[in-house]
């Protein structure tokens, strides 16, 4: 089956939106000549617009599509599950090693320098981006099973995930405990991933563009009803004036959002949009896709660098404040910083990827390495990465990560 360049483009654009959105979450002001970071509160206009531009679900759709293609290829070549899983983990170790090394140091050094409490708090805050990797790794590990389920029980699996999401939403809303929606990490994003597998199998593109357009309108109406009639948050994503939203943690509204996005993707596909780009564009797109993980891991660093530079320029030349302290300047600065650092980082990441195993990977060690890695990432997400006697759980989290990564590196040696 031909490579779907539109899916590749959607994956890159979804990550670009994530970077841009995170660059908009804060802006900088000067208070008596000192820079102060203020959370961004755009108001309802951007709440409603966020439903159109929140493309993180598309990333999971594209990942499902790609995973289905890999599973198909592996079945043809006779590649075992242990080989498949080890290959996926091995390629991620380069970016994870470089980022986590810097993150642990950046969390730990201030804690020992007399700033323990701020270091712990900031470490936990920045570690929140690891939820994405935990979900992504679990979905990659489950991909062969999810492909088989799609082939045999497609409708039942889809309905089951939707019903489970509805059950979580109902319990969370009835109890008033919104954090229960975090359970939907196990339903909403697997459903988006499953949609990607279904897309690969021709589910959505087999429908007419008229039918797909009507589905988009109907799904938009359902989301509007959930917001206005059922009291769901008015924004797809959270801002300073809309802290509780529908994507993190995900709600049933996110299910209808990803459904509408897949229908729009199918409309573009059937319209032959980006069907056959030239060789140079395909090469550029392939390079950008290869950088997606590194971009995700390091884009917060780029935001901090851009903010520090803009604040410094403003302190030197206050007359520039209306320009240099604007949200647009921070977004532009973030992309400039990211472009400047991502090339050298990607080269370091490539060197840190372990070589191919000398012996065939076996299932038990591979699963142990995977479970330790996921447990470590989840623990760092929850407790941060400060290595200090005052933060024992963070120390355990980092230890789990280190052991998991070591196990994966030693497989087949």
pLDDT of residue 104: 96
Predicted confidence band at 244 (pLDDT cuts at 50, 70, 90)?
Answer: confident
Are the C-beta atoms of residues 193 and 64 closer than 8 Å to each other?
yes
Distance (Å, whole) CA 299 – CA 342:
9
Are the C-beta atoms of residues 19 and 298 closer than 8 Å to each other?
no
SS (H, E, C) 242-297: ECCCCECCECHHHHHHHHHHHHHHHHHHHCCCCCCCCHHHHHHHHHHHHCHHHHHH
Tell me how far CA of residue 154 lies from CA of 165, 175, 206, 357, in angstroms. 17, 32, 15, 35
Tell me how far CA of residue 8 lies from CA of 99, 168, 275, 313, in angstroms. 24, 32, 11, 38
Phi and psi at 35, nearest 5°, equal: -70, 140
Question: Per the omega criterion (within 30 degrees of 0), is the bond before 249 cis?
Answer: yes
Q: Is pLDDT above 90 for 85?
A: yes
Q: Is pLDDT above 90 for 230?
A: yes
pLDDT of residue 133: 94
300-305 long-range contacts (CB < 8 A, ≥24 apart) are: 300/22, 300/126, 300/129, 301/102, 301/337, 301/341, 302/19, 302/334, 302/335, 302/337, 302/338, 302/341, 303/22, 303/23, 303/26, 303/330, 303/334, 303/337, 305/333, 305/337, 305/341
What mean pLDDT comes out for the span 130-148? Answer: 95
Predicted confidence band at 136 (pLDDT cuts at 50, 70, 90)?
Answer: very high
Domain count, the chain: 1
pLDDT of residue 101: 95
Both tokens assigned to 392: 């024992």
pLDDT of residue 238: 87
What mean pLDDT comes out for the span 86-93? Answer: 94
Give the highest mean pLDDT range of 55-59, 162-166, 278-282: 162-166
Name the nearest CA neighbour of 292 among 12, 4, 8, 9: 12
pLDDT of residue 267: 96
Q: Is pLDDT above 90 for 246?
A: yes
What mean pLDDT comes out for the span 220-242? Answer: 92
What mean pLDDT comes out for the span 197-225? Answer: 95
pLDDT of residue 41: 81
Q: Is pLDDT above 80 for 1?
A: no
Q: To the nearest whole percent, how much of the chain has pLDDT over 90? A: 75
Are the C-beta atoms of residues 69 and 11 closer than 8 Å to each other?
no
Contacts of 110 (CB under 8 A, 6+ apart): 118, 119
pLDDT of residue 356: 87
pLDDT of residue 2: 67
pLDDT of residue 316: 86
Are the C-beta atoms of residues 165 and 255 closer than 8 Å to each other?
yes
Distance (Å, whole) CA 346 – CA 200:
29
Distance (Å, whole) CA 413 – CA 152:
38
pLDDT of residue 406: 95
Q: What is the pLDDT of residues 271-292, one digit of tens each?
A: 988 888 999 999 999 999 999 9
Average pLDDT, the chain: 92
Contacts of 120 (CB under 8 A, 6+ apart): 107, 111, 384, 386, 390, 391, 394
Distance (Å, whole) CA 112 – CA 377:
23
The domain in which residue 119 lies consists of 5-410
């Amino acid at each position: 089956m031909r490579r779907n360049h539109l899916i590749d483009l959607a994956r890159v654009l979804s990550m670009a939106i994530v970077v841009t959105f995170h660059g908009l979450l804060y802006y900088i002001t000067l208070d008596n000549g000192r820079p102060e970071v203020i959370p961004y509160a755009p108001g309802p206009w951007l709440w409603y617009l966020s439903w159109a531009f929140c493309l993180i679900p598309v990333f999971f759709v594209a990942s499902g599509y790609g995973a289905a293609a890999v599973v198909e290829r592996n079945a043809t070549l006779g590649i075992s599950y242990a080989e498949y899983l080890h290959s996926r983990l091995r390629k991620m170790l380069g970016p994870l090693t470089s980022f986590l090394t810097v993150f642990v140091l950046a969390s730990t050094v201030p804690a020992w320098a007399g700033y323990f409490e701020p270091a712990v708090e900031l470490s936990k805050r920045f570690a929140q981006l690891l939820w994405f990797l935990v979900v992504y790794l679990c979905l990659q590990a489950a991909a062969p099973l999810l492909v088989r389920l799609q082939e045999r029980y497609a409708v039942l699996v889809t309905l089951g995930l939707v019903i489970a999401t509805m059950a979580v939403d109902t319990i969370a809303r009835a109890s008033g405990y919104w954090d229960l929606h975090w359970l939907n990490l196990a339903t909403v994003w697997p459903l988006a991933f499953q949609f990607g597998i279904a897309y690969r199998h021709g589910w959505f593109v087999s429908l007419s563009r008229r039918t797909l357009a009507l589905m988009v309108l109907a799904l938009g109406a359902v989301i509007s009803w959930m917001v206005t009639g059922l009291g769901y948050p008015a924004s797809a994503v959270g801002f300073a004036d809309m802290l509780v939203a529908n994507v993190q943690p995900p709600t049933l509204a996110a299910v209808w959002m990803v459904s509408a996005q897949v229908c729009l993707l199918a409309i573009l596909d059937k319209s032959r949009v980006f069907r056959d780009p030239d060789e140079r564009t395909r090469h550029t797109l392939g390079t950008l896709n290869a950088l997606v993980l590194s971009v995700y891991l390091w884009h917060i660093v780029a935001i901090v660098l851009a903010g520090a530079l803009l604040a410094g320029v403003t302190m030197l030349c206050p007359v520039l404040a209306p320009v240099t302290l604007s949200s647009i300047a921070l977004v532009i600065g973030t992309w400039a910083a990211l472009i400047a650092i991502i090339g050298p980082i990607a080269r370091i990441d490539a060197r840190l990827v372990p070589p191919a195993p000398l012996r065939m990977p076996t299932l038990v060690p591979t699963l142990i390495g995977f479970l330790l890695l996921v447990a470590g990432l989840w623990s760092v997400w929850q407790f941060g990465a400060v290595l200090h006697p005052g933060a024992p759980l963070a120390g355990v989290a980092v230890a789990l990560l280190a052991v998991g990564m070591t196990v994966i590196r030693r497989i087949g040696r």
